[in-house]
Amino acid sequence: MKKTVLVSGGAGFIGSHVTVELLEAGYDVVVADNFSNCDRTCFEGVKKITGREDLPLEVMDFCDLKAVKALFGKYHIDAVIHFAAFKAVGESVAKPLMYYKNNLESFLNVLEVAGAQPGGCNVLFSSSATVYGEPDVVPVTENTPRKPATSPYGNTKTMCEDILRDTVKASEGALKGILLRYFNPIGAHPSALIGELPRGVPNNLVPFITQTAIGKRECLNIFGNDYPTPDGTCQRDYIDIVDLARAHVYAVTRMMEGKMKKDCEVFNVGTGRPVSVLELVNAFEKVNGVKVPHKFAPRRPGDVTAIWADPTLANEEMGWKATRTVEETLKAAWAWECHLAQQKEAGSDDTGKATSLKDQILQAADKANEAISDAIDKVKEYSALSPEEKKAKQDEWNSKLTEAAEKASDSVKDIVDDIKEGADKLFKGKKD
């Protein structure tokens, strides 16, 4: 009988690529996502690539324990791959509680329910090289000491690693766990039907490069050129998303076939090849024949100088190895950006419509923000006047304040109109 893998966060960048590889390897997959940080583009793409129109999708939040229990009641789950988490480093610094709550609670729920399954369950957690912090020695092996993370996002990865280890240990064989520590996943599926779809301004390097090359962004800032590296820019281990997705198939199969050496194992998922930011930008320009306007900018807080993997353990123990060259990966990333642009141009996709609608709403929101701030400033200015001054210029102030309030109110109406217009367009698109 086919084994079933639950992919939480399966509609996102990594989750969608993993779903494709699992289906192609003969597993049944249940995709679960709450679409808090992605739309349906990649889920639809997965169905197209695999021809699996019947691919089960559960729209749900893993922080909802009842929903997680219901999900495990509905399907017989042999393994869970847990991606459902927030992942923006900067945002996590600004909103730590949101990150701790979401990333920890969802994983605790998965473990609680998976651990109670009759016959047990296998759990694969998507960890990150961020747990190594700024390493003293590169490349890093799985035995390289973890260091305090530089962000709440990073802390949630370290904490979830520990939570999985402890829970597996206490489960007396009911749970098996694998922690995969990803280096820098980039690229897109060779079909160009799925890829990275960041909301708003991308934080990560490659989406910023592709969006700059296509003209969505004016110029790429290279954060820091004074690092102690050969060309002064940071070095990372960029791993092709399809290679990375395949590592999950190897890991799941290892768990299912009882080949694990310990009940909780950890593997680095990287290439072992350091590439600097500048090298990556140059390679992208060369292989795709496009320019990426770029300039050097100050260092980005929290960035480590250089980190790359020693992937020997994954190569030898799991039999998995990264196979794609940086050039192939950068070609795929560009093909995906071009595909998105064509879809937008043709106006035939929900993503394109949603992106332009979003831009329209964001612009309206900026205007509203300005108008409201202006109104508040005027009210403050008026409040600070003495009673005599207020009396003397009463009429002038009446009209100033009324005008500011009307502008603010109109700008809010504009947002509402844009939202309504956008919703109509999208609904019409669906009917067509």
Instruction: Tell me the C-alpha to C-alpha distance, in Å, between residue 231 and each of 66, 199, 256, 305, 373.
Output: 52, 31, 45, 12, 45
- The amino acid at residue 270 is G
Instruction: Work out how close the CB of 299 gets to ligand UD1 at its nearest, in angstroms, rounded to a whole number.
Output: 7
155 makes contact with ligand UD1 (CB under 6 A): no
User: Rounded CA gap, 74 and 283, in Å?
Assistant: 47
Q: Is 364 left (phi over 0), alpha (psi -120 to 50) or beta?
A: alpha
Structure token digits, residue 100: 């701790």
Q: How far apart are CA 389 and CA 393, in angstroms?
A: 6
Q: Residue 277 interacts with ligand UD1 (CB under 6 A)? A: yes
* DSSP bridge pairs for 220: 294
Q: How far is the CB of 130 from ligand UD1 (least distance, A)?
A: 3
Which residues, at least 6 apart from 94, have a Cβ–Cβ distance to it below 8 Å?
A: none
Q: So which residues are the catalytic ones?
A: 153
Give the Å distances, CA to CA, from 225 to 221, 222, 285, 297.
11, 7, 19, 8
Residue length, the chain?
A: 432
Identify the CA nearest to 156 among candidates 216, 207, 89: 89
Nearer to ligand UD1, 72 or 223 (CB): 223
Minimal distance, residue 184 CB to ligand UD1, in Å: 5
Report 103-122 residues binding ligand UD1 (CB under 6 A): none
Among 128, 155, 167, 271, binds ligand UD1 (CB under 6 A): 128
Number of residues that bind ligand UD1 (CB under 6 A): 24
Q: Does residue 274 bind ligand UD1 (CB under 6 A)?
A: no
d(CA 114, CA 127): 18
Task: Please select the residue that binds ligand UD1; options are 86, 107, 208, 397, rule is CB under 6 A.
Answer: 208
Stretch that binds ligand UD1, among 52-60, 65-73, 200-208, 400-408 (CB under 6 A): 200-208
Residue 161: exposure state from Cβ atoms within 10 A (0-12, 13-18, ≥19): buried
Nearer of residues 123 and 209 to ligand UD1, judged by Cβ: 209
Cα Rg, the chain, nearest whole Å: 25
Q: 222 - beta bridge partners?
A: 296
204 binds ligand UD1 (CB under 6 A): yes
> Of the candidates 7, 222, 242, 269, which one interacts with ligand UD1 according to CB under 6 A?
222
Residue 296 binds to ligand UD1 (criterion: CB under 6 A): no
Q: Toward ligand UD1, which CB reaches closer, 154 or 177? A: 154
267: tokens are 């593997």
Cβ of residue 204: shortest distance to ligand UD1, in angstroms? 3
Q: Indicate whether 184 belongs to the interface with ligand UD1 (CB under 6 A).
A: yes
- Position among 30, 81, 89, 193 found at the interface with ligand UD1 (CB under 6 A): 89
Query: From the list 223, 260, 279, 315, which residue makes contact with ligand UD1 (rule: CB under 6 A)?
Result: 223
Given the rule CB under 6 A, which of 41-49, 140-148, 296-304, 352-360 is the region that contacts ligand UD1?
296-304
Binders of ligand UD1 in range 64-83 (CB under 6 A): none
Residues with Cβ within 8 Å of 360's Cβ and at least 6 positions away in sequence, in order, are: 418, 422
Residue 203, interface with ligand UD1 (CB under 6 A)? yes
What lies within 8 Å, CB to CB, of 44 at 6+ separation is: none
From candidates 110, 234, 364, 371, binder to ligand UD1 by CB under 6 A: 234
Q: How far is the CB of 239 from ligand UD1 (least distance, A)?
A: 10
Nearer to ligand UD1 among residue 90 and residue 347 (C-beta): 90
Within 8 A by CB and 6+ apart from 116, the residues are none
Query: Which residues here bind ligand UD1, judged by CB under 6 A?
Result: 87, 89, 128, 130, 150-151, 153-154, 182, 184, 203-205, 208, 220-223, 234, 236, 277, 300, 302-303
